Amino acid sequence: MDPRIVFIAAFGLALMAAVGLEKVLSKFWLSLPIVYVAIGWALFQLPFDFPSLNPAQDGFDAIALEYITEFIVIASLAAAGIAIDRPVSWRNWRQIAPLLIISMPLTIAAVAFLGWWGLGLSAASAILLGAVLAPTDPVLARSVQVGPPGESKRHDVRFSLTVEAGMNDGLAFPFTYLAIAAIGMASLGAWTLEWFAIDLVWRILAGTAVGWAVGRAGAWYVFERGEGDAKDADRPENPGYSTSEGLVVLGTLLSAYGLAEIVEGYGFIAVFVGAVTARQREARSRYHRITHHFIDQIEQIVLVLVLLAFGAMLASGVLEALTWPAALIGLALVLVIRPVAGLLGEWKSPLPWPGTLAIAFLGVRGMGSIYYLAYGQNHGTFAPLDLLWATVTFTILVSIVVHGISAGPIIRWAERRAGHVHTGEDEDMAGLAPGPGPGREKAAEA
């Protein structure tokens, strides 16, 4: 039997089964990633002569993983940005800064030190390991993120985790470039100044600027040019779905990513900023819910494929190089380093302690880490590759299991103790709810 046909059939069945499966699994403290990774592993154990999928041994596998995970991260960042109802202001968003400025650098430094001290990695490889494992993942963290746009439900825990994942997937790039630049370097010098000026400052600013500009342009194209279907989306007689919405949202997010990369900015930051910027315009329109539905469907399709592929990686022996020190680093990151770094970043947060603890612990690792490691492998020479891949893969697997089982109970625990809402002054949540009339009722039903 042709293994290609077997995989296509399995992929089709997995797509159909994914519909509504998350709600069923939540009753058993399971998540979709846990089940689909197990299915991918079991599928590649069958005697069908499936090809091996091990990026540590095959450069083509690393290139394929870089491109596939790049796309799903783009889709996830766009979906997360569109879903955020909260208006953009320092008062509304200041709670995210400590997670990005304090928690993330601490995580990078701790993992890099353990990689250098515990695994004997070179400085470049240790920095790469820290950069790869530092960002939280917008792909696998769907269960702890905010819901579709227009819900207007105040939930500071979900909001913090969503924006953190949206921003730090781009902020991991400067440290990935630092690792690439550090290859063969024995001391600090002019190359560190160049890294700071270009890879840290310029690329972040350029990505942010391009994302804002493309988001504004996309919003103008949809809402202000006097044509298109955006205004029709709120009419009672209009079901609210057509092919044009999908083309606009997909074109906008890919344009933001591509244009940012062309001007040497960070495309991931541009996608998230662009989605948030577009969401702020005509915020009461149901059009945002429609576009979110479209991009969410794309994300789920690619997610099923990536989860099956991750299971295939496990079956192909990517963990064979795993050592006890490497495994301990993965466990330490999920169970110690991220929670402690999160608490240090959030220790002045106005959130009650249950909410602060939930944010600190639920730092999901996932597809973004695979992308960054594949990118580093394809743009530099790091050793030992097999140990790096084994460490990262094991950490993601631990995160999938630990966070997949605990996320739901932890969020519900924080909610029962009113830990999901700030105790301080209320943020301005007005203006982003669906407007009055039939559009609002339909949005509430959805």
pLDDT tens track of the chain, all 446 residues? 788 899 999 999 999 888 778 778 767 777 889 999 999 999 999 888 888 899 998 889 999 999 999 999 999 998 888 888 888 888 888 889 999 999 999 999 999 999 999 999 999 999 999 999 999 998 887 778 877 676 667 788 999 999 999 999 889 999 999 999 999 876 777 889 999 999 999 999 999 999 999 999 888 887 776 544 555 555 544 444 455 666 777 888 899 999 999 999 999 999 999 999 988 876 666 777 778 788 888 888 999 999 999 999 999 999 999 999 999 999 999 999 999 999 999 888 888 899 999 999 999 999 999 999 999 999 999 989 999 999 999 999 999 999 989 988 899 899 888 878 876 554 455 444 443 333 333 333 33
Residue 69, token pair as written in the block = 């995970």
CA distances from 168 to 164, 175, 213, 223, 244 (A): 6, 11, 20, 30, 31
Name the one residue in this structure whose structure tokens are 């290139």.
63
Q: Nearest to residue 366, comparing CAs of 388, 399, 334?
A: 399
Q: Nearest to residue 108, comparing CAs of 177, 40, 203?
A: 177
Q: Where are the domains of the chain?
A: 3-9+17-423
Residues 166, 39: Cα–Cα separation, whole Å: 28
Residues 157, 199: Cα–Cα separation, whole Å: 31
Residues 112, 131: Cα–Cα separation, whole Å: 8
Question: For the residues of 200-225, what is the DSSP string, one character each?
Answer: IIIHHHHHHHHHHHHHHHHHIIIIIS
Give 427's DSSP letter: P
How far is CA 230 from its chain centroid?
Answer: 28
Q: Give the domain 3-9+17-423 fold.
A: Na+/H+ antiporter like fold (1.20.1530)
CB 105 within 8 A of CB 318: no
Residues 329, 19: Cα–Cα separation, whole Å: 35
Residues 212, 47: Cα–Cα separation, whole Å: 51
Residues 342, 360: Cα–Cα separation, whole Å: 4
* Length of the chain (residues): 446
Q: Nearest to residue 116, comparing CAs of 131, 129, 106?
A: 129
Count the helix, strand and coil residues of the chain and give each as a percent rounded to the nearest 5.
70, 0, 30
